[in-house]
């Protein structure tokens, strides 16, 4: 599972290096193919880019196919999530190209905050992530309480 945070910089070809501590969790089944798509943030603050190894993204697609396409929210989520998804191959230097439309969506220009987040990697504009953290910090305790009630305590 992906975890940790790293600050990297886009190169002139919009490539970002995947940190070694995260790369080791990309399974051979992914065949160095990664899927980038729109991530969720806060509408008033900004968004991130989600990166999934190809094999994990296939599981997500399978789960999405079980949603009701006639449910307005399901259909909109599927459409938004998948229409922005792009496969990219990681090169031998562990770099991946971030498509321009996703860079624009996440307002990433040069510096990239890379976050490990269980089954995915998130790319954030560092300034937007800082605003996101401030906007959601007050409610972290409430969120933790709610999540822990559902899944039980972490020990």
What DSSP element (H or E) covers 2? strand 2-9
Q: What is the pTM of this model?
A: 0.88
**CB neighbours of 113 closer than 8 A, spacing ≥ 6?**
5, 6, 7, 123, 124, 125, 126, 129
DSSP string, 42-65: BTTTB--EEEEEHHHHHHHHHHHT
- How does pLDDT run across 74-121, given as a tens digit for each residue? 999 999 999 999 999 999 999 999 999 999 999 999 999 999 999 999
- How does pLDDT run across 130-147, given as a tens digit for each residue? 988 887 766 777 777 777
Q: Does residue 152 carry a pLDDT above 80?
A: no
Cα 3 to Cα 117: distance, rounded to the nearest angstrom:
6
Cα 141 to Cα 149: distance, rounded to the nearest angstrom:
12
Cα 121 to Cα 26: distance, rounded to the nearest angstrom:
10
Domains of the chain: 2-151 (3.40.1550.20)
Structure tokens at 97: 């190209």
Rg (CA), the chain: 16
């Amino acid at each position: 599972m992906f975890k940790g945070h790293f600050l990297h910089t886009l190169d002139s070809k919009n490539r970002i290096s995947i940190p070694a501590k995260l790369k080791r969790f990309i399974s051979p089944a992914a065949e160095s193919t990664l899927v980038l798509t729109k991530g969720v943030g806060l509408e008033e603050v900004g968004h991130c880019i989600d990166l999934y190894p190809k094999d994990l993204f296939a599981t997500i697609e399978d789960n999405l196919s079980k949603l009701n396409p006639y449910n307005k929210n399901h259909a909109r989520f599927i459409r938004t999530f998948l229409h922005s998804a792009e496969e990219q191959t990681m090169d031998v230097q562990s770099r991946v190209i971030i498509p321009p439309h996703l860079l624009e969506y996440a307002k990433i220009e040069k510096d990239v905050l890379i976050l490990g987040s269980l089954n995915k990697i998130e790319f954030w504009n560092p300034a937007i992530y800082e605003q996101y953290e401030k906007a959601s910090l007050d409610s972290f305790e409430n969120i933790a309480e709610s999540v822990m009630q559902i899944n039980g305590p972490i020990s």
